[in-house]
Amino acid sequence: MAALPTETLSLQAQGLRFNVAAAGPEDGPLVILLHGFPETAYAWRRHIAPLAYAGFRVLAPDQRGYGGSAKPAGVPAYQLNTLALDVIGLARALGRQQFSVVGHDWGGIVAWHLATHHAVHIERAAILNAPHPATMLRYAMRNPLQLVRSAYVGLFQLPIAPELMLRANHYQALRWALTTTSRRDTFSAEDLSTYRQAWAEEGALTGMLNWYRALPLPTAFKPPARITVPVRVIWGDRDTALERGLADEAITWCDKGEAIHLPRASHWLHHEESAQVNALLLEFLEAGKTGKKKKDRAAKQEVKSDAEAEAEAEAHPS
3-state secondary structure of 73: coil
* Cβ-proximal residues to 289 (8 Å cutoff; 6+ apart), any chain: 29, 55
Classify residue 274 by burial, with Cβ atoms within 10 Å: 0-12, 13-18, 19+: middle
Tell me if residue 261 falls in helix, strand or coil.
Answer: strand
- Please tell me the distance from the alpha carbon of residue 106 to that of residue 211, in angstroms, as a whole number: 8
Going by C-alpha positions, the residue among 112, 83, 87, 110 that lies closest to residue 97 is 87
Cβ-proximal residues to 133 (8 Å cutoff; 6+ apart), any chain: 80, 109, 112, 113, 224
How far apart CA 189 and CA 302 sit, in angstroms, is 57
Q: What are phi and psi of 144, to 5 degrees?
A: -55, -30
What is the helix (H) or strand (E) element at residue 177, kind and residue range? helix 161-179
Measured CA to CA, the distance from residue 118 to residue 112 in angstroms comes to 10
What whole-number distance in Å separates Cα of residue 143 and Cα of residue 134? 15
Number of H helices, E strands in the chain: 12, 8
Rounded Cα distance, 113 and 129, in Å: 15
At position 85, the amino acid (one-letter code) is L
The rounded distance, in Å, linking the Cα atoms of 214 and 209 is 9
- Catalytically active residues, by annotation: 105, 212, 267
